[in-house]
Amino acid sequence: MEEKQLRCISQEKLCDTGFSYTLSLISGKYKMTILYALKEFNIVRYNELKRYINGISFKTLSQSLKELEADKLIIRKEYPQIPPKVEYSLSERGKSLMHILDQMCEWGDKNRE
């Protein structure tokens, strides 16, 4: 029978874990909220997100969307028209995170007072 080696925290680094990588993609005050909105409503425009996420500044929303797009979690589709029209949706990579988001929602529903 194979013995399981004990891990020692002094020989490990959090930054080398999948947990840390996932957190680096979704950390930030509003990123999970943006992903949740796209999950619930599929295709959303910038001003719709701004209204939906009460209290988010234009700068923070723009920055969060740029980071989510750079990390390939969302898709930004721009239409060549006047006035400009831009829509956001989840990428396949972003959709793969939804299982985690669903579990967080379930936990919140069960533990909310």
Long-range contacts of 72-80 (CB under 8 A, 24+ apart): 73/25, 73/26, 73/35, 73/97, 74/34, 74/35, 74/38
Cα separation, 66 vs 50, whole angstroms: 15
Residue 89: C-alpha distances to residues 2, 43, 98 (Å): 47, 5, 13
Q: Which residue has the higher pLDDT, 79 or 18?
A: 79
Helix axes 18-26, 31-41, angle to 10 degrees: 80
Average model confidence (pLDDT) for the chain? 88
Give the tens place of pLDDT for each residue, 22-38: 888 888 889 999 999 99
